[in-house]
């Protein structure tokens, strides 16, 4: 927690320094944002292997992983005339827990009996690249469409502390997304902005839905510096009917942020 706050202060100082250095610019083309996201966590996973059907496991109730997180995230955008706006972002989420489980569970072909002490963890790394085309882009109103891709690296693990057996699940890959971007100016240098993107797809035996929605209020101190308060909803729901694997993950909660532009 303290390291995260220190990192955000350093990033914020760097953003302000860059802002001051370019304060004489007439147009703001590049923006850098540091957000501090505080979501609640709700996740269920099922992983089968060796013909043994996995259990639906709630990572909070069944494994004792904390149901809240504090997550720093970074975003940058480049908005050049006559070109689509380029938006890139990054965050990483990890959690762990240890619990004497209260019911029998099965994960990746291993059975865990009730009362077994299990240590568990997850680690999600997220990269995103978007192109945004605004067909309405005025001082107080913005509306457009976005097209891009998210790339995930996900690792989950369960360890039976009695036998020492550890089973891990690693998944990595890109996911295409489409969505909208919009903004409405409010009195007092305040803007209400949204960036919503997602996808629903079926590929082979896999059905998946992903949604990432950001709704924020932004106060512009001037054209170079703003503070933000918002809410972000991020969810992944996927099922592999052939492998009998499922994942249903939601991270939802408020955030605060600082943006510098030049």
Would you give per-residue pLDDT tens digits along the chain (262 residues)? 444 444 444 444 444 444 444 433 346 689 999 999 999 999 999 998 877 888 999 999 999 999 888 999 999 999 988 899 999 999 999 999 999 999 999 999 899 999 999 999 999 999 999 999 998 888 789 999 999 999 999 999 999 999 999 999 888 899 999 999 999 999 989 999 999 999 999 888 889 999 999 999 999 999 899 999 999 999 999 998 888 899 999 999 999 999 999 8
Counted residue by residue, the chain has a size of 262
CATH of domain 2-255: 2.40.128
* DSSP SS3 for 157: strand
Model pTM? 0.85
Of 221, 227, 185, which Cα lies nearest the Cα of 34?
227
- Rounded to an integer, what distance in angstroms lies between the CA atom of residue 238 and that of residue 228? 32
- Rounded to an integer, what distance in angstroms lies between the CA atom of residue 128 and that of residue 144? 18
Instruction: Provide the token pair at 186.
Output: 């409010």
- Every domain of the chain and the residues it spans: 2-255
Instruction: Provide the token pair at 181.
Output: 């971007």
Of 245, 144, 124, 130, which Cα lies nearest the Cα of 176?
130
């Amino acid at each position: 927690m303290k390291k995260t706050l220190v990192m955000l202060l350093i990033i914020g100082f760097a953003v302000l320094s860059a802002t001051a250095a370019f304060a004489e610019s007439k147009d703001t083309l590049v923006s850098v944002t540091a957000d501090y996201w505080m979501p609640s966590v709700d996740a269920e996973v099922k992983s089968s292997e060796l013909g043994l059907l996995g259990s639906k496991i709630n990572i909070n109730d069944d494994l004792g992983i904390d149901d809240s997180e504090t997550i720093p995230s970074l975003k940058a955008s480049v908005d050049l005339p006559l070109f689509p706006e380029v938006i890139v972002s990054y965050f990483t989420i990890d959690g762990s827990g240890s619990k004497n489980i209260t019911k029998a569970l099965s994960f990746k072909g291993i059975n865990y009996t009730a009362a077994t002490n299990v240590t568990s963890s997850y680690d999600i790394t997220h990269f995103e690249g978007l192109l945004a085309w605004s067909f309405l882009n005025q001082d107080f109103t913005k509306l457009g469409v976005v097209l891009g891709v998210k790339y995930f690296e996900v690792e989950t693990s369960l360890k039976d502390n009695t036998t020492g057996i550890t089973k891990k699940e690693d998944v990595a890959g890109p996911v295409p997304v489409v969505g909208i971007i919009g903004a409405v100016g409010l009195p007092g240098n305040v803007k209400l902005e949204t960036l919503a993107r997602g996808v629903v797809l079926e590929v082979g035996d896999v059905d998946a839905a992903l949604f990432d929605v950001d709704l924020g209020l932004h106060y512009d101190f001037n054209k170079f510096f703003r503070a933000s308060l918002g809410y972000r909803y991020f969810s992944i729901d996927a099922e592999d009917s052939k492998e009998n694997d499922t994942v249903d993950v939601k991270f939802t909660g408020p955030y605060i942020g600082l943006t510098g532009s030049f």
